[in-house]
Amino acid sequence: MQIMTKRLLVVLVGLLSIIGVAVPSGTGTASAADCADIHLVFARGTQEAGAPVGTTGQAMYRSLQNRFPGKTVRVSPVRYQASDSFAEGVDFLKTVAEGVRDTQGQMRAIASRCPSTRIVVGGYSQGAAVITYAVSDQLSAVAPLLTEVPSPLSGSVARHVAGVLIFGGPADRWFRDARVPPMRVGARYRAMTREYCIPGDNICDGGPISRPNTVHGQYAVNGMTDNAANFVARRVH
């Protein structure tokens, strides 16, 4: 029975490695062989297909693989509910904060265990909001709305980050309509950030809070993930 269990575990780990999803280490340590050259941490959008990273995250992962054929690329999902409770600002902020804590935890762990790995963080739609909050230095702005506010990342983590990629992130008016404060990427991360908004996307173009239109769902297929991979390539040495 133990032999069969071990074999099943080996098969499962192998399958997860094939599709590129990171397998957490049970010991909390990692050897150089366990560390990828580039590690993408991606937050999916609200109810986005293609779990766990979403179709946009899958496209971003493929773009990085194609752009870095001689390097190992890994992807891991941000674990959060991606709730659609946009009308209730505090509920929305709670699910985003859940994603922020997971994102920051992964970034800290990778930076500590794999110091040579270049970290890329990205998100689509609500996931873009998660990533923006995760690398913000203004998290105290949400203190009146949350009992537990995530802490800003330290500068030691930022040194390991090669890119912050925002796809279809909600505009300021969207945040205000949801009754939560807009966020800005922290000063340490601004030069390594690229924001992508398709013209006519009603989530990121400054319109009122509403259900996304068809334009908002095109980031996985319109070539912007390739542009983002090229941006990362210019920063990876």
> Tell me: the pLDDT tens digits for 172-183?
998 888 888 888
- CA atoms 14, 20, 25, 29: torsion sign: positive
How high is the pLDDT of residue 87?
59
Q: Starting from the edge strand earliest in sequence, which strands make up the sheet with 193-196, in order?
A: 73-77, 38-43, 118-124, 161-167, 193-196
Tell me the CATH class for 35-235.
alpha beta
Residue 74 host element (H or E): strand 73-77
Confidence of residue 67 (pLDDT cuts 50, 70, 90): very high
pLDDT for 22 beyond 80: no
How high is the pLDDT of residue 30?
45
Mean pLDDT of 84-111: 85
State the residue for tokens 């409770």.
Answer: 85
Confidence of residue 7 (pLDDT cuts 50, 70, 90): very low
pLDDT for 158 beyond 60: yes
Q: Which residues are catalytic?
A: 125, 201, 216
pLDDT for 153 beyond 80: yes
Q: Return the ∠ at Cα 54 (arms to 49 and 57), rounded to 5°.
A: 150
pTM: 0.84
Residue 17 host element (H or E): helix 2-19
How high is the pLDDT of residue 21?
43
How high is the pLDDT of residue 183?
84
Cis peptide before 24 (omega within 30 of 0): no
Are the C-beta atoms of 45 and 54 separated by less than 8 Å? yes
pLDDT for 12 beyond 60: no
**In this prediction, what percent of the chain has a pLDDT beyond 70?**
80
CA distance 44 to 58: 10
CA distance 191 to 188: 7
Mean pLDDT of 89-118: 91
β-partners of residue 21 are 75
Instruction: Give me 123's structure tokens.
Output: 């998100």
